[in-house]
Amino acid sequence: MRQREKPLNVAWRNPFLPNSCSLISMFNLSLHQNSPFAVRFLSLLPFCRKSQELKALNSILISRGLIGNESLVDHFINHCCRLGSPDLALPAFRIVQKPSLYSQNLLLRSLCDNGLFEDVVSVYKKSRNSGSPSNNYSFPFVIKACAALRDVWFGSMMYCVALKDGFGGNLVVQTALLDFYFKIGEIGNARKVLDEIPQPDLVVWNAMISGYSVNGFDCEALRVFRDMFVAGMKPNSSTLATVLPVCSRVEEVDRRFGVCLHGLVYKLGCIEEESLAPALISMYSNCGDLSAAEEIFDASTRRDVVVWNAMISAYTRSHAPRKAAALFRRILVDEIKPNMVTFVSLLPSCENIGSVESFHAHVFRFGYDREASVVTALVSVYAKLGEMDSAEFLFRDTKVRSLLLWNSMVSAHAGHGFCEQSLELFRLMQADGFDPDAISIVSLLKSCSQLEAAMLGKSAHAFVIRRGIDSNLSLLNAFLAFYFDSSEMVCCFRIFDRMALKSVVTWNTMISGCIDEGELERAMLLFHHMRQEGCKFDMVTLISILPSCHVYSRGSLLGSTIHGYAIRTALASDVSLGNALVSMYINCGELDAARLFFDDMPQKSVVSWNAILTGYRLYNLQKDAIELFHDMIEEDDQMPSCVTLLNVLPACEALHQGKSVHGYIIRRVMIPLETPLLTSLMIMYARFKNLKSCLVMFHFGDKTSISVWNAVISANLLMEDGNTALSFFCELLHSRVEPDEITIHNLISACLHLKNLNISNSIMAYLVKEGFDRDVALGNSLIDMYAKTGSISSAGVLFDSLPHKDNVSWSVMINGCGLHGHGEEALSLYTQMRLLGLKPDRITYMSVLSACSHAGSVEQGRMVFNTMIHEGMLPGREHYACMVDLLGRAGRLDEAYEIVKNQPCGSLVASLLGACLSHGNYELGEEVGRFLLDLKPKDSAPYVILYNIYAAAGKWADANDVRLLLGRNQLAKVPGISLVC
């Protein structure tokens, strides 16, 4: 590869040269001696080594009319470039009418090497406009400048000019174009250029590897590295410096591959190359082996500032801020001058504002306070720590702003939820002449998602397609996330299917997006496709897919398989994944497996405890939940969170337990209480009929929160006080807090408690006025309310007026008809439902069977019950209870007894026993009664019913035996009283 020419040491000075202020007088003296101007000029040129001296010579060159001497101008430009000051040659170059090809290429190269890319473009334009030719050495520098400036249009035009001038097939020009297209993210065009290179050299291979790496296609970069070996090409230090950081980012590649590359460095004899020590340090630190990175650093013989920067960056990435700061202090002690990269690497490690301000002072000390990259790093770290005012002050104080700085501000505002300000900054960035890049668009999409600005996000997508940067992998992943946030799943899958390369982030975005949208089967299908395509799962993949396991009949087996994979890949020890596994086992009904894994977890966070507590609450294991809470605060010394207490309070089985938890909350100074915790305390006190404490909590609550009002209304409903619940609702309306759906459901429940049709009509009028009647769930509740308050006709009218009917709508209407004895209407609704293609669920079948029971429709009930079984739905106890009640009412007691014997449940047997008594079947009643005594020996009710059966049959001796057995078991009949004489 071509090496940069090192500029001469500008500090060197010839002791025999007069001082710089006398250059012009020396030149004038030579004129009086009648020497040729050009000779005198050239004789002075080697002695000029300072910018002021060069400026003086430039003035002489122009004022004395020597600008037309092509050789003289070339010498002057060459001298400026050798001194590393090509900008001082620009005035002379611009005056020359037709610059030579030599001076043009010389200046282009020097300007490019010094990062003056805008001047590169202006020099080329000047040469082109003046009719000067260009060759295969001119185009690479201009194309490189276009890549640095991200000037897509001019770079593409340069490609066309190179083709027109016959240099399109030149390897150097093609390599520059390849690098240009990779840097602007146009992977498709880069591949077209690659297809036109018949025999790529090492520079081309390096450009390919670097290009794929920069654009996030790390797997593709490693594939190219492998193909290079297959092609017999020997890598150099630049190749290895590019590949080393890639191998640490690819999940499919472990640390051993990096160690192999390290060995290759020794084998090729490149260990002393300056670029490889930083690359090795970065590779080992990215692989999590910080000690190996430190060994490389300590063994480095030529420890320049680049190596120091690499080690600081390694500490920053490894979340070791103290080590990074200590290393910076060693730099100062060793009198090594830090550069801009030092501060850019160091600043992200800051964890508090004090350390930021300290390093900011050093930035001023070394004069980097105006450097765009350093200012950008400062803005980012201030924003990360929430110091947005400081970030904005730095931004406003910066005169020359870069695209990176704009991106930092746009991203900072989006990250802190200031989305409108972020969009305004994005607009100002464009007005300032900066074209958005992939990073800009990613930040824009975050704001669009939070503001639900779907059209703006789609406009950004159109812009990306027009600019030809739609192949950038990070950008495509951001669009996938945006479209999922906008519930545009069709767009997501369209983008996903068209993606040539997919990273693990791509798959994770798709899987988590489908789960968020409730498409659990699609998520699982993607998970299987990901495995088939050979993409290795990472932590995020497993955490994303585990919540969807429970939707499958063999979900626990699938979850166990994922658990086994996590163990094999050493991911199971991660706390976050462990929490997800606990939740998965609970959702799959494997509470014992969840507890077993929880007990084996080496580290537990508060989320771990919350997960297992949630499982105990869901399975109504209150005692176990309380014991686990005690273990949490005593043994593990964990500080419970609000979620912990929200799980514990419903598990309290007595008032003293609830008060103990409340006292613990007060001792832990969790005051003022968060609203969810306060409302949970209110409900807890209401469960134990402690209205006074409940109202005290309500008094301390935030009266502007609808959750507090909902809690106090629910509390009164728990105490079956519908009137007080309605009075609190009226108070709520006067407080001008807007009711929500939960409030309305509580209001309807209050009506059901009161069973007052007038109140129901008043509430219905309010709901119509406020527009709540259009909600399907509330409509279903209203149908149930009218049916249970005695107005089945109003329920029917409301049912017919529903614009959309779900299964619940049909179920509550069928149940209402059954309650009012309208069995035929209930069966007719059931038939209509099936004709419309709706599949009845367990609740619907329960409602139909109940209606048949009330109407005495035995055959229809049997038919419905058999249909339920035929469709693969296993009946529950409630369905069997309906059948026993149906058969018992119809006097078909033997058939009911057959069901009871197959489903031995106390409530079913008691229902049949009552039917035996009412139908006078004393023989079967005696048998059923004895059966019930075996099931419930400590319940007095079976004894009383069996006594009544013997008494009705005139078997007084047996009746007395039952009474004696009742007393022997220390049971007593619940006493009754009558005021009728």
Residue pair 69/39 in contact by the 8 Å Cβ criterion: no
Spatial separation of the C-alpha atoms in residues 490 and 479, rounded to whole Å = 12
Per-residue model confidence (pLDDT) at position 23: 41
Spatial separation of the C-alpha atoms in residues 188 and 206, rounded to whole Å = 18
Tokens of 26: 């020396």
**What rounded mean pLDDT belongs to the chain?**
80
| Position 385 pLDDT exceeds 70 | yes
Place of tokens 């193909």: 227
Residue 11 CB neighbour total at 10 angstroms: 7
Instruction: Check residues 178 and 456 and name the one with the higher pLDDT.
Output: 456
Per-residue model confidence (pLDDT) at position 79: 66
| Position 325 pLDDT exceeds 80 | yes
| Position 358 pLDDT exceeds 80 | yes
| Position 27 pLDDT exceeds 80 | no
pLDDT single digits (tens) 182-212: 887 777 778 888 788 878 888 888 888 888 8
365: pLDDT confidence band, cut at 50, 70 and 90? Answer: confident
What's the start-to-end Cα distance of the chain, in Å?
Answer: 117
Instruction: Check residues 391 and 673 and name the one with the higher pLDDT.
Output: 391
3-state secondary structure of 627: helix
Place of tokens 């201009």: 142
pLDDT single digits (tens) 247-260: 766 655 556 677 77
Place of tokens 């610059």: 99
Ranges assigned E (strand) in 706-768: none
Per-residue model confidence (pLDDT) at position 16: 30
Lowest-confidence pick of 10-14, 318-322, 559-563, 768-772 = 10-14
Among left, alpha and beta (phi > 0; psi -120 to 50; other), residue 115 is: left
Tokens of 562: 């994922």
Spatial separation of the C-alpha atoms in residues 522 and 492, rounded to whole Å = 13
Per-residue model confidence (pLDDT) at position 747: 83
| Position 12 pLDDT exceeds 70 | no
Spatial separation of the C-alpha atoms in residues 297 and 306, rounded to whole Å = 11
Instruction: Check residues 12 and 931 and name the one with the higher pLDDT.
Output: 931
Per-residue model confidence (pLDDT) at position 480: 92
Counting Cβ atoms within 10 Å, is residue 625 exposed (0-12), middle (13-18) or buried (19+)? buried
**690 Cα distance to chain centroid:** 43
Per-residue model confidence (pLDDT) at position 39: 60
56: pLDDT confidence band, cut at 50, 70 and 90? Answer: low
Residue 287 backbone phi and psi in degrees, to 5:
-80, 0
Is the C-alpha dihedral spanning 301, 306, 309, 315 positive or negative?
negative
Per-residue model confidence (pLDDT) at position 665: 84
Spatial separation of the C-alpha atoms in residues 148 and 183, rounded to whole Å = 8
Residue pair 51/85 in contact by the 8 Å Cβ criterion: yes
Spatial separation of the C-alpha atoms in residues 873 and 871, rounded to whole Å = 6
Task: Number of helices (H) and strands (E) in the chain: give both, helices first.
Answer: 57, 0
3-state secondary structure of 597: helix
Instruction: Check residues 955 and 646 and name the one with the higher pLDDT.
Output: 646
3-state secondary structure of 36: coil
- Indicate the DSSP class of residue 50: S
Spatial separation of the C-alpha atoms in residues 304 and 323, rounded to whole Å = 19
Tokens of 186: 């146009």
Contacts of 614 (CB under 8 A, 6+ apart): 583, 586, 647
- What is the average per-residue pLDDT within 595-623? 88
Please name the amino acid found at residue 26: M
Residue pair 757/789 in contact by the 8 Å Cβ criterion: yes
Per-residue model confidence (pLDDT) at position 936: 67
Count, residues in the chain? 981
pLDDT single digits (tens) 900-915: 887 767 777 778 778 8
Residue 175 backbone phi and psi in degrees, to 5:
-65, -40
Residue pair 262/247 in contact by the 8 Å Cβ criterion: no
- Indicate the DSSP class of residue 471: T
Per-residue model confidence (pLDDT) at position 278: 81
Per-residue model confidence (pLDDT) at position 509: 92
Rg (CA), the chain: 41
| Position 45 pLDDT exceeds 70 | no
pLDDT single digits (tens) 81-102: 766 667 767 766 776 667 777 7
Please name the amino acid found at residue 466: R
Spatial separation of the C-alpha atoms in residues 580 and 418, rounded to whole Å = 32
pLDDT single digits (tens) 113-142: 777 788 888 888 887 877 777 877 788 888
Spatial separation of the C-alpha atoms in residues 200 and 591, rounded to whole Å = 61
Place of tokens 């007005």: 431
| Position 525 pLDDT exceeds 70 | yes
pLDDT single digits (tens) 921-978: 877 877 777 777 777 666 666 777 777 777 877 777 777 777 777 666 655 454 444 4
Spatial separation of the C-alpha atoms in residues 851 and 810, rounded to whole Å = 13
| Position 65 pLDDT exceeds 60 | no
Spatial separation of the C-alpha atoms in residues 341 and 240, rounded to whole Å = 21
Tokens of 822: 């309208």
Residues of the chain with pLDDT > 90, as a percent, come to 2
DSSP letters along 303-343, please? --HHHHHHHHHHHHHTT-HHHHHHHHHHHHHTTPPP-HHHH
Spatial separation of the C-alpha atoms in residues 124 and 142, rounded to whole Å = 7
Per-residue model confidence (pLDDT) at position 60: 60
803: pLDDT confidence band, cut at 50, 70 and 90? Answer: confident
| Position 334 pLDDT exceeds 80 | yes
**178 Cα distance to chain centroid:** 34
